[in-house]
Structure 1
């Protein structure tokens, strides 16, 4: 049984410092050179990345890319053939690190004869922690199951819908006050309202300084909540970075008519990257705080330009992901 986390001893600190030399102190998870082979299949091949405290990292890639294997190696559930992992300042296999991790696996099953309240109580005991009953109820409320637990306390998990079981899985992942949370397809069985709830939950964890690793096929959800993204393909890191780095320069497309010379000068100063017919594409500054487009449109209107349409010109994360994967498929391995 796992024990409560204790203060790092001098030897622990020294070992961690030797292993993660140069690692920012905010990192909750750090891994380098992870490799894992199953028979002839190289599932993971040299994967390296880190997750900072209070950061949401999206893990993307097609089926079979190695995402779940990477997650299991991070959590100490699978031993890597090569590479190193530090989890909350300790080796991944250390129970004192894992007790501070919340994990929602993609496929999970709870004892069908237990109630939601009993499932939470069981996992608190398995974690070796003391979490007051009132706090456990708050966790059920956080995932939208409090009313169900109160009104139908005798209902067994075996009678839950897929969406309710998914919400219970989220509660289990959060009940032990984790510092690092891994969510593997957390919205797979949820309706649109449930997906919004998960999005709000992830942002709330981030605000509390909790590190989150989110694996999801719903690209739009990743784009809304993630600070950085790691894209895996055939066991390797195909691309990694912030959304701004991956999606490239932000642009805006404007449909304009009656453009006098003074307005043409204003557009040129803003940075025209393309012009075709009545459409003009302008690059937005990297440090734009949301005022660049309104200011540009206001200036153009004041100069007598007729503005018919304004559209974002940046590609979506889904388009970027598909482009990376298609390029990788064409390259010899």
Structure 2
């Protein structure tokens, strides 16, 4: 089952801006990252999905129900990027207020408050006024509000921007545990290193249009490049000639790593690239068959940041 499904979802403002013809398929039980430069339409898309904006055209479903079905929102949690909570309320008061907004009973809310406070690292801060919270603590209490109804689908807009490295690690671990319980998390963030760590799939949008969606790791691994360390006198032409079992290989770069006392090269590093399937075992066999001594073989994959910059620049 898909947690989020959109078909040509469009929102424009007097015919301009917003996002156009977005067709997404987000599987249940995954962490899905939304990427795009400033002004790409990310916030517009999220606001449509959580019911804060009405689409100009197109359709969308959350947890199998149309987004117009208000009842589905009881199973959806949302942490916006820009938020301001009631300064005079304590953290527990704020959670009780959000429990009433979700239609939770007093008994349900009372049971969930200590659970979510513990989950976000505020177990001993619930009685303090929100106005006295640091920015990071306010972000944590906002996450607690989103988690309060134990939602099946969670929208988080820049959930770790105000947190220190320890706090970001704690949130990453929390999101992974929610995914393991079958929850779906939809992340909107500019911290690509964070998304790279936790996301199973991503979508990239630019100027309101969808450029890519899917498993970014498969995309990163599609670059046929490998680092190998071989004996210092190895000639690259031993493997650069095409063969029926392997495509032509190109030397991208090389450097000598070690020399003996007389200045003779003992080991060198090659960065090799080729077109076609990246069959690393066949490459190693080919090198050994040609008499090369192979000390190290490391496939090279693009980072999420490199892939993102490649898509938005092209």
Q: Name the TM-score, length of structure 1 as normaliser.
A: 0.77
1:121 deviation in Å?
Answer: 1.1
Contact 1:58/1:229 (<8 A) preserved = yes
Q: What whole-Å deviation, never above 9, does each CA across 1:127-153 have from its counterpart, x for those lacking one?
A: 01232524310111101000223xxx2
Give the gaps of 5 or more residues in structure 1: 1-25, 328-333
Change (3 A) 1:253 1:137: same
Change (3 A) 1:229 1:273: farther
Q: Which residue is equivalent to 1:279?
A: 270
1:272 deviation in Å?
Answer: 7.5
Give the gaps of 5 or more residues in structure 2: 255-268
Q: Secondary structure at the match of 1:146?
A: coil
**1:177 maps to which of 147, 150, 164:** 150
Contact 2:17/2:41 (<8 A) preserved = no
Q: Which residue is equivalent to 1:190?
A: 163
**1:67 maps to which of 42, 45, 64:** 42
Q: Name the TM-score, length of structure 2 as normaliser.
A: 0.82
1:315 pairs with 2:302: yes
Contact 1:31/1:74 (<8 A) preserved = no
**1:53 maps to which of 14, 20, 28:** 28
Q: Which residue is equivalent to 2:118?
A: 141
Q: Secondary structure at the match of 1:158?
A: helix
Q: Secondary structure at the match of 2:11?
A: strand
Q: How many residues align?
A: 288
CA RMSD of aligned residues (A): 3.0
Contact 1:89/1:97 (<8 A) preserved = no
Q: Distance in 2 between matches of 1:242 and 1:83?
A: 25
More helix by share: 1
1:305 deviation in Å?
Answer: 2.1
Hey, which bits of structure 1, 4+ residues long, moved more than 6 A?
268-272, 285-288
Q: What whole-Å deviation, never above 9, does each CA across 1:246-289 have from its counterpart, x for those lacking one?
A: 3242543123225599x969xx8787743354404378x9899x
Change (3 A) 1:78 1:286: farther
Change (3 A) 1:305 1:272: farther
1:42 pairs with 2:17: yes
The 5-angstrom pairing of residues 285-300 of structure 1 reads none
Larger Rg: 2
Q: Secondary structure at the match of 2:124?
A: helix
1:177 deviation in Å?
Answer: 0.9
Change (3 A) 1:312 1:32: same
Q: Distance in 1 between matches of 2:184 and 2:91?
A: 26
Q: Which residue is equivalent to 1:232?
A: 205
Contact 2:96/2:109 (<8 A) preserved = no
Contact 1:162/1:189 (<8 A) preserved = yes
Change (3 A) 1:69 1:260: closer
**1:80 maps to which of 47, 51, 55:** 55
Q: What whole-Å deviation, never above 9, does each CA across 1:281-323 have from its counterpart, x for those lacking one?
A: 378x9899xxx78xx69x96xx87263x655522111111111
Q: Distance in 2 between matches of 1:273 and 1:137?
A: 59
1:75 deviation in Å?
Answer: 1.3
Contact 1:184/1:216 (<8 A) preserved = yes
1:165 pairs with 2:152: no
